[in-house]
Amino acid sequence: MKSELELRKEAIRLYYQGVPKVQICRQLDHPRAWLDRWLQRYNPDDVEASLSDHKRGPQQPSTRWSAAVREQVIQMRQARMQHEQSPYDLIGAEAIHYELQALGNPEVPPPVTIHRWLKAANLIPPRHPAADQHESKPIPIPQATAVNRVQQLDLKGPIYLRGSSQKYYLVVLRDRYSHRCAVDALRSRQAQEIVLFLVKTWQWLGLPHYLQLDNALEFRGSNRYPRSFGRLIRVAADLGVEVVFNPANEPWRNGGIERYNGFLGERLLRTEFANFAALRREAARCQQRCNSSHRLPAFDGATPDELAAQVPLHLLAADYHRHTTPSLPQDQGFVSFVRLVRKSGRITLGTGDRFMVDPKRAHSYVLARVDLAKHKVKILQEGKVLKTYDYSAATVGAWAGEDQEEPAEEADL
């Protein structure tokens, strides 16, 4: 007999496979209200926690907190909102809770109580409606189950310095598990500059298993030659890092780093910088503060640096230089694309580079995993290989391909 948690997971799977709600309820012998509740609670980034039972009743004995600690909380929030001494400190209830704890305060209210006090004092702005506009439909991306298993890369900009029309960009690399980050400023968004940043960063942040990013050309390569990947993918493959592209036109799939970019826009870019060197210095200051002071509620208040210090990191060698090779070969490793199957049953990896999946799988997501050594692309869904196609430059636009039903050899995504 399946456990309640297993039933909830099965309900979510069936729902996103297009099975009608009434059929799901009949098959699992549960009411419609049960299904609606768990669909609402479901979080694809934290499957186990979101589908697990929530504790009921008070989480700690009822406490009558003093007026003094409540006033202290209000003052701490107001000080953090001014961003004068520490502009990169977090201002939320969790951050204040951990600060009280670090100070050895005789009273340390839980974050939920602090949040309630801040809301009553009108110190919490209303939630922007855009924050809830996207449906959290699960997609086949690797899960962040350990430090540096999945890192996310993104650019923010353009940024203009005082009295200049020159465009600059912030580049951010962030570990999805520990939230440890690297932040720098670039003079352009060319791939070569991004690669130099990655190589330098991976020498202290550590190499990931997967690098998740959007479909920008500087990341992917060329529209004219969609199967001749750019320098970023070639360098990543050379280092054993698998690049995973999000579904096209769905930036919220990089949710963690997108929210962090919003934080940078509010804190780092709130002032004008006199020159490029000043912008880079402030980016480095922001990086150091975020990694050393932001406390993570999911890890009992550990900071990103503290979390990373608990595990061995796979650091890139300081003498690595293959990223400077004029023509780095495209002959090893993997690159993956998460794609939505269109009504026609097709998916598009790059401009004009289309593959037939199955019209019956329309409006669901698949993972197209390219083997750069074998020149093959496997299209997978739920760990099962649906199709296998040749993937050489000569077959761009061709529809020939042998359907294969086989176990997914590399399906640890």
Residue-level pLDDT at 288: 92
Neighbours of 251 (CB within 10 A): 15
Report pLDDT digits (tens) over 3-24: 888 888 888 888 877 788 888 8
Report pLDDT digits (tens) over 92-120: 888 888 888 888 888 888 888 988 888 88
For residues 229 and 337, the answer to whether their CB atoms sit within 8 Å is no
Residue-level pLDDT at 119: 86
Percent of the chain with pLDDT over 70: 89
Which whole number is the average pLDDT over 214-238? 90
Report pLDDT digits (tens) over 379-395: 999 889 999 999 987 56
Residue-level pLDDT at 265: 80
Residue of higher predicted confidence among 364 and 405? 364
Residue of higher predicted confidence among 191 and 18? 191
Six-digit token pair at 2?
Answer: 């399946």
For residues 231 and 191, the answer to whether their CB atoms sit within 8 Å is yes
DSSP H helices in 268-377: 276-293, 304-308
**Cα(106)–Cα(299) distance, integer angstroms:** 23
Report pLDDT digits (tens) over 83-97: 656 677 787 888 888
- 76-80, 165-169, 232-236, 279-283: the lowest-pLDDT one: 76-80
Residue of higher predicted confidence among 37 and 234? 234
pLDDT band at 254 (very low <50, low <70, confident <90, very high): confident
Residue-level pLDDT at 84: 59
**Packed helices 4-16 and 21-28: angle between N→C axes, nearest 10 degrees:** 150
Six-digit token pair at 309?
Answer: 């210090």
Report pLDDT digits (tens) over 48-74: 888 888 655 555 555 588 988 888 888
Distances, alpha carbon 388 to alpha carbons 238, 335, 342, 355, in Å: 24, 15, 18, 10
* E strand or H helix that includes residue 22: helix 21-28
